[in-house]
Structure formats: C-alpha cells, structure tokens
A and B are shown apart, each in its own frame.
Chain A
Amino acid sequence: MRKLFTLFSLLVIASLALAACGGADTAAPSTGGEEATQAPSTGGDGAATSGFTSKDPTTFVAVSFGEPDLLDPALDYETAGGEVLQNVYETLVTYKGNYLSEFEPLLAESWELSDDGTVYTFKLHQGVKFHDGADLTASDVAYSFVRGMLQGGGSSPQFLIIEPFWGVGTSDISEMVEVAQVFGLEALEDGVSTEEMDELPYELYDNVEAMKEVDSEILVGVCEALYSRFEVDDAAGTISMKLALPWAPFISTIAGYWSAAMDQDWVAANGGWDGSCETWQDFYAMQPENDPIYDIANGTGPFILDHWTPGEEIVLVRNEDYWREPAKLERVVLQNVGEWSTRFAMMQAGDADWVAVPPENRSQMDALVGETCNWDAALVDYVCEVTDETKPFRLTLGRSGNTRSDIFFNFNVANPDGSNTYLGSGKLDGNGIPTDFFKDIHVRKAFNYCFDWDTYIADIFNGEAIQSKSLAIEDMPGYNDDDPTYSFDLAKCEEEFKLADLDKDGIPAGEDPEGDIWTTGFRLSGTYNQGNTTRQTLVEMLSLNVNTVNDKFIIESVGLPWPAFLRSINAKLAPLFFVGWHEDIHDPHNWYVPYLVTFYANRQSIDPEIKAQFVPLVNAGVLESDPAARNEIYKELNQLVYDNAPGIIGVLSTSHGFMPRYVKGIQYNQNYSNFYYYPMYKE
C-alpha cells in the first residue's frame, strides 16, 4: 500500500515539475544564440530553417475546427468543405498567385471573349483525367455548370453563377421556372425586365415538392434553355458560354470551387443527376442528407480524397497521375480539433504543421515567432525578416482581410401591434423611438460621426485593422483612398442631431421650441448575437458616444441568442443591428448588391427613392468590364452611399497568421478556403 502511494506521490510531483519546466518556450529547441542577419526575403521562401522540424516532411497536417457540410462542389458553401474541394477538384481558371483579381488558366488552356462581351470560349487542356481514370471532356464542363445551376437552391453558392447567365438580380433556377410559367418559355430567350421579375410569385424557391409538381414541359424547357447557353466540341476540346449580359466579374466568379468540373458518368453512376432534362427536378435544392455524392469526390485536382471521418479528419493523398507535375506533398491531413490547448499541444509535439489560432491566443504564439513578414501591397507578397533564428514560427502581418462587421440602420422598423420592445415606447418621448427614426438623414449622419473607429481598432483588433474607405475593399474597383468617409467627430455628431427633424414640423431639433430629439432624447436597442464580443463592443462604443453628446440619448446593448437575433433582423424588428459580410468573390458587385439592393438593403427597408439612386449604378458597374471605368461608376456610388449613410461602414482586420518556418511555397490568397496545397512543401 505504502509503495502505491509513494509511487503515486512521485508521479504527481514529477508531473508538476515537468509541467513547471514545460511551457511554450520548450517547443523551440535552441540551435544557437546568434542573432539572425539575413536580408529580407519575400513570401518567407528565402528564410533560414529553424531547429523546429516536422515529424514527417511528406505530410502536411492542418488542425482547425469545423466540418464540411458536404463535398459536392456545386452545393457546398463554406470554407471547411471549400478547402477540400479546391484541392480535389479544378476549375477552368484560377487565381494567379497572391493576386485576388488576376487569373490564369487551369483546366482551360486559354480563353477568348467575344466582342460584345457575352460569349466566353475556353480551350481545354488535353489529357486531363479524373481520379477514376476517365477523361475530362468539354461536355463534362458544360454538365457541371448546368448541374450546379439546376440543383442550386438557397443553401448553395450557385446564385453567383445564375446571375451572369440569367441577368442582374436573379439568384435561383426556380425564378426561371416561374418566368416560364408566367411569361412562357420564350421569355427565357427574350429576357424579362426587372418589373416583370417583380410579378413572379417566388413560391418555388427551395420548395422541392412544389418543383416536382411543375408541368414537365416547363421543366424540360428550362433545362434545355440552360443547355443551349453552352456550345461544346469534345473533339476540339472547346466550350463556349453565352451570358445574358457582359459580366465584368465572370472570370472571378468561375474561379471558385463551385464551378469545378465533375465527371458526368461518375455522378450518375453514384446516384446523382445523369444530365437528363426529364429528371433534374428530383435533384433540385438538395441538402447533404439526400445528396448521393455528399461525402465522396472525383475531381481532376492534385489531391485525391482518401477518406473523411466526420468529426475527426479528412485525408487527401497525392494524385500521382496528375496532368501537371504531381504535388510536392504526398499527403494532406485536415484534422478537426475544437480545443485550442489540444491544438497547441499538437503543434508543440510536432504533430501539426498549421493550427487555427484564435485572436485571444495569439500572444502564446507570438512568443514563438522567429521570422516576421509584412505585407507589401506593391509586391503583392509578404516581405520577411528573420528576427530570432532559434524560434520556429513565421508571422505574417498586415494584409487586409475580406470580412467586415458593419452597423445597419433600419429605415422602417416593423412594430406589429406595437409589440416591438426594441423601439422602447415606440414614440419620440425620451423612452423610445418612432419606427421611422432612421429615415432622417441627419440622425444617420450623426450616428456615423459618433462612431470612434480608432478606439474600435485599438481595443478590438489590437491595432491590426484599417477603416474601410467605402463598401468595396482594398484591391478592387470602387476602393479609392480619396473616397469620402466619416470620421469620429463629436461636435459634428451633435450638429447633425440638432439638424434632425423627427417630429417633421420643418424646424431643426436644435431650434425647435416644441421639443424634438435634442430635447426629448431617445432610447433604442442595439442587437447583436450573444458571444460575439466584437459586435457587443460596437454597440457599447456607439452607446457611450451618443450618450456623451447628450445624456438623454440611450442605446441599450442587447445580446440575443442566435435564433432570436436572426429573427430580429429577418422580421425587421431591430432598429440598429450589427452583422458581418464575407466576400464570395473579390469583386465590388459582391459587396454593393447585398448592401444596397438585396440582402441587407431589404432587411433595412432602405427607402425606395434612395434605392432607386443606387440600382442603376450597381447594374452599370457589373456590366462594365474596363476596371478604370468601373471604378468611376463605383466612385459615384460611394459618394451616394456617403451622402445617404444607410449604415456605418466598419473596419477590415489585417492578417496575423502563423506558420512553421519550414513550410514553403504558400500562396497567400484570401479567396482560397484556407490553403491551396499544390505548391506547398516542407523543408
């Protein structure tokens, strides 16, 4: 007995001693104490190796959290699945290195655009094979596009492809079916106006059962109309695509994994759609549970899906018969580990080559950085400098991101039976706001002037963010350093509040003897989803600043559980809400449309007169292919957005990434879902 307890005591003491000795620093074996003197290099490729080596140089292990929804490239719409799909499947074109707006051929050898800007013709590489050995044909490419658009539905990214093929504002094949029902099949060829689109009942959207009951002649007609947009010559290896309109971001749109080439025979053999126009409705708006290929894959890419064990890992192995030079890595393992400490331990043990680091744990990793790389916009690459030869990690800093949280004003808040508590009393009596509170331009401008971007960047992003100049983000048409932007100015905030006229008596609030917002004050709720500290801080900062201007101005910060938060926005109950947008493609159209015309604009109930000013410019922007001319259009739009201030445009965080220094060949392209492993290798 005594022996047992002695043993146990020794074990505990030894454990505690080891734990005390262990720590972040133990992960970095010393290789000498000399300071590094290397000249700066780009992209980290020229950096010296450190003593921190990989257990297996042929396998790359990336450890993160999250699980793919499914591995069907046409239907998956999230980054965990996207990472697998972009390495297993291939598209006609792809991103050129680190560039977000420059592209190069991939499955296509070359492409041409017709003079009128509506017909793209791609010449395919010869000898490309799918992982099962079948040849890639132009027919497979056409089938993949048609399949995607016909099967899309609301949960997929296919709305991105639908729009160039069917026209501005379209988003799903169900709309084309309704066009055919309402205006006849000919309308699919002739096109329909925006006004005519407004007449559609929109009852088929995501309604799988109703779609199956549509007249078969209509269904076949829609499918054939879609096929007719593609002209295929398998012998010559060419495919032409006829768009509805000249579409500036078309190449950028089809560079995403959602346009990947699939093998028609393989899909059909595995229970998927066989390409027949008689049956497509049975596959419309499929969810993972009824998609027969949700967990299998057969692409042409540099890696083959070996297995996916949900909740554990996805293993990709090198495609030895790849049509280009096979990848340098033999294997890529994507592990799903939710707990940060476990991920960190895996990194320490050399079992992980990359782990997802939450912002709050960055300091733990910062201590292990021996090489710092800063983004150089001119070079479109990171410029690196070794700071400590003994430390194992490379830190990449300074590239602005493509996700932003913004603040949205609701111009006409819903208040069914006077029950909306987010409006307080529902009147301008100091205890609430009227439903049209944000219709007043001066109120919207005042809120903008009361927002302190610098403090927000310092407190939430630790200084690693930049204020957005406009709705567009860096490195795309519509982003200009001289775009008009609001800045924090409490005096102007006060001035604007005094100019407001909430009681609509024609007298500015600051001079109104009968009282207005300046004398009565207001109380409203700013909603965010519980647990999102960034959005919570946004509300609290705004609340503090408006209260500083006038202590009768009260914004209550209301954290809501996710379902209630979603409902507050969708039911247009929230007068002021805080949400984010992650771009699908690096193009201004992907920002301006949701903010000014559709997604958020509808939830904000933006005044039709204001929207009517935005829409022509949004449409003109997407149809203009010359970047300089596009920029001019969006510049005009930016001025309109500034003048009307439908919301407060937030900040873009800048990169703060970690990678072991032995990892080379990384393409730093944010439009990839995490990493494109083909060029990567380990030293």
Chain B
Amino acid sequence: MVNYIIRRLLLVPLLLFGVTILIFGMLQFLTPVERSALYVREIPKNERQIEGIILKYGLDKPLYVQYWRWLVGTTDQVTGERNGGILFGDFGWSRTGGQPVATLIKNRFPNTLDLTLWAVGPVILVGIWLGVQAAVHHNGFADQAGRIFSIVGTSFPTFVFGLLMLMIFYANLQWFPPGRLSTEASIVVNSESFKTYTSLLTIDSLLNGRFDIFIDTLRHMILPILTLSYISWATFLRVTRSSMLETLRQDYVTTARAKGLPERDVIYKHARPNAMISVITLAGFTVVGLMGGVVITETVFDYPGIGKAAAEAAGQLDVVTVLGFALFNGLILIVANVVVDILYAFVDPRVRLS
C-alpha cells in the first residue's frame, strides 16, 4: 500500500513538468509581436510600446531561454533583485486581476474552496442518496421521478438555471443576493478589526464572533450551491443508480438476503459500498471541478472565485493569468487524481494488489 502511494506521489512532479511544457509550448505558435500584443489592451498610442514589451519579457529569445526565464525568472543587473520565476511562486502580474497572479489565486481560491466545502455535501451526498433510492425503488415512483429529473437536469443549461434562480430568488424575492458579501459586511471584513485566520469567510466570520457576517456569506452562497447541486445531482443520480442496480443483482446480495439479513443492512452495508467504486471517480472529478472554479456559476452569481477570474482573464487574452490558472488547475487535478487513486486502493483491494 505504501509503495503504491509513493509511486503515485513520485509521478506528481513529472506530470507538472509535462503540464508546464504543454502550456508554454502552445504559446510559441505565436510570433513575438503577436505574443507582445497579448500584453496590450488597446492599440498602443506610442509605436515603440510593442518593442518595449518584447524587450521586457524577452519574447524574442530562443524558446528554451524563455522557458527557463518563466521557470526561474531573471535577475536585475543593477539591484540584483529577482523578477518572475514560477518555481519561486512568481507567476507574473495579472492585468485583468490588477495584482500578482499568485496573489490573485491566493485571494480567489479560498472563496472557491469555501463554496466547494459547502457545496460538496449537497452535491455528492444528496446525489448519491438520490441514486440509491432510485435503484432500491427500481421502476417505482422514486425511480421514474429520478429519471425525469436527471433528464431535465442534464439538458437544462447551467446558465439558464442560474439566471432563473437569480431572477426568482434575488430580483423578485430578494432573498439570496449575488456576489460574496453585502457592502456593509464587506466594509467590516476589510477593516482592521476583522482578523483573517483561514481566508475562508464562513469560518473566519465565526472565529471573529461575527455571526451576522457568517449568515451574510451563506446567503450569498445559497444560489451558487443550489445551481451546482442541481446540475450535479442528475449525473450522480444516474451513475449511482446504474452502479447500485448492477450490484444489487450480484450473487452475494442474493446470498445476504437469503441469509435473512434486514433489507437495510443488505443495501447500505453490502451493496452500497461496492457500488461506490465508479461513484468515487465521479466524486473526485466533481470536487476537482468545483475547486478549479465553476466558471458559469461563478459568473452568473458574480461570485469572486477562481473560475470567474479565469474566465475574465481568458476573455481579455490575459495570457499571464491564464497560464497561472492553467498551472494551478493542473496541480489540483494531479493531486486530486492521486487522492482518488489512493481512495480506490482503500475501497478496492484489487487495485493495490495489481
């Protein structure tokens, strides 16, 4: 088991190297002038601005030099200060975010993580529960309703559902506003009296003894959570249902029933754990998807997470920020894959033995 985990962990840096090469390589299809234009928002009023940018970022240097600069940065000949270098956590300046990319990720990721932590329960647990119920009540009302629900859920575009929620619960009822905080709460959170412990607002608000901020934060998260849950439940329901149905047809389940075990034990202790193998993969990727930022949901609800920032950067061709996010997402994906692999090994002994 330990060997299995070590082998998986050793792969992480290699995979990350591959991701950096891939991301960097894609950019090299553009000429230096075209790449320098990625740093310019409007037609520069001074003609020499483009040349200045090429010089500044070394865009005319050979590929390996640029890659090395990107990895380790450059050193100022006069002051001796280092500029850039992703290995030192310097991902460059985010033109769209108005701050260093690393700071942008540091500021935005906790918001996404906060949302993920609150969404993961409803999304995964309820989704699995719905799937189990549909399978247990095969062809019954719950199963039929579940099928209809999953078809509607998968065919209903997220942005349509999100906008519908926004119009009903915000514009009309004014229950759940978009954004992250109300202005009053935002002023408190940005004041010196509010201490930051975890950067997760729901937790920090409680640690600061500000239950009003906690409620305000939750109010802003309800609609994104509802939207994320709605679109994920349909998938979880279908996957869990089919996996459960297959498991329930296995001989050992029939044996368990023949032995006279209560139906509850048969389903929850014998069938469900075995049906979970395929669901774990889905759950793993769902969590990765949530942590990597859910672009549409965050955009519709103006939730300042990592997905919204990445979408803004991509929309304005902010190449430095896009590269930083791509790398960060790659890191999350790789780590999550390793975690899922390890979880597999725990759930299914065949995996670690092979």
Contact = CB atoms under 8 A, between A and B. Distances in A.
Interface of A: 1-2, 5, 8, 15, 18-19, 21-22, 26-27, 59, 61, 67-70, 78, 154-155, 159, 171-172, 202, 205-209, 212-213, 285, 287-289, 295, 306-313, 315, 331, 333, 335, 337-339, 341-342, 344-346, 348-351, 562-564, 566-567, 569-571, 579, 594, 599, 602-603
A389 B78 CA distance: 68
A313 B186 contact: yes
B250 interface: no
Interface in B149-207: 149, 163-168, 170-174, 177-180, 183, 186-187, 190
B60 interface: no
B71 interface: no
B171 A311 contact: no
B249 interface: no
A597 B234 CA distance: 63
B156 to A, nearest CB: 10
A1 B304 CA distance: 36
A308 to B, nearest CB: 8
B49 A154 contact: yes
A26 B97 CA distance: 35
Contacts of A202: 48
A348 B171 contact: yes
Given A202-B48, A331-B183, A563 B170 contact: no
A341 B46 contact: no
Contact of A563 (B38, B48, B92, B190): B38
Contact of A345 (B46, B97, B171): B171
A563 B97 contact: no
B5 interface: no
B137 interface: yes
Contacts of B38: 562-563
Interface in B68-112: 76-78, 92-93, 95-100, 104, 107-108
Interface of B: 30-31, 33-35, 37-38, 40-41, 43-50, 52, 55-56, 76-78, 92-93, 95-100, 104, 107-108, 133, 137, 141-142, 145, 149, 163-168, 170-174, 177-180, 183, 186-187, 190, 299-302, 304, 308-309, 312, 317
Contacts of A70: 98
B43 A569 contact: yes
A349 B34 contact: no
13 contacts: A27-B171, A69-B95, A154-B52, A213-B78, A306-B187, A307-B187, A312-B304, A339-B300, A339-B302, A342-B178, A342-B301, A349-B170, A570-B33
Given A67-B98, A339-B299, A342-B302, A172 B46 contact: yes
* Closest 5 pairs between A and B when the two form their complex, measured CB to CB: A206-B52, A563-B37, A289-B93, A563-B34, A348-B171
Contact of B97 (A67, A171, A344, A348): A67
B301 A315 contact: no
A569 B187 CA distance: 46
A346 to B, nearest CB: 7
Contact of B48 (A205, A212, A333, A566): A205
Main secondary structure of the interface of A (DSSP, over half): mixed
Given A312-B180, A563-B34, A564-B34, A26 B47 contact: no
Contacts of B312: 311, 338
Contacts of B149: 5, 8
Contact of A5 (B92, B145, B171, B180): B145
Given A309-B186, A579-B43, A346 B178 contact: yes
Given A310-B104, A338-B299, A349-B170, 8 more contacts: A5-B142, A59-B183, A154-B49, A339-B300, A346-B177, A562-B38, A570-B44, A594-B45
Contacts of B300: 339, 341-342
Contact of A206 (B49, B96, B163, B168): B49
Contacts of B302: 337-339, 342
Given A154-B46, A311-B312, A566-B40, A349 B97 contact: no
Nearest to B226: A11
B263 to A, nearest CB: 15
B31 A567 contact: yes
A583 to B, nearest CB: 12
A563 B317 contact: yes
Contacts of A18: 168, 172-173
Contacts of A562: 37-38, 317
Given A311-B309, A349-B171, A341 B43 contact: no
A307 B190 contact: yes
A436 B229 CA distance: 62
Contacts of A350: 174
Q: Which of B48, B49, B165, B308 has the most CB of A within 10 A?
A: B48
A247 to B, nearest CB: 19
A368 to B, nearest CB: 13
Contacts of B308: 311, 338
B137 A1 contact: yes
Contacts of B48: 154, 202, 205-206
Contacts of B168: 15, 18-19, 22
Contacts of B34: 563-564, 566-567
Nearest to B31: A567
Nearest to A69: B98
A19 B167 contact: yes
Contacts of B186: 307, 309, 312-313, 315
Nearest to B44: A154
Nearest to A63: B302
Contact of A22 (B44, B137, B171): B171
B87 to A, nearest CB: 18
Q: Which of A1, A346, A564, A594 has the most CB of B within 10 A?
A: A1
Q: Which of B30, B44, B52 has the most CB of A within 10 A?
A: B52
Contact of B46 (A159, A312, A344): A159
B45 A345 contact: no
Contact of A19 (B31, B37, B164): B164
Contacts of A289: 92-93, 100
B141 to A, nearest CB: 6
Contacts of A61: 183
A311 B97 contact: yes
B110 to A, nearest CB: 13
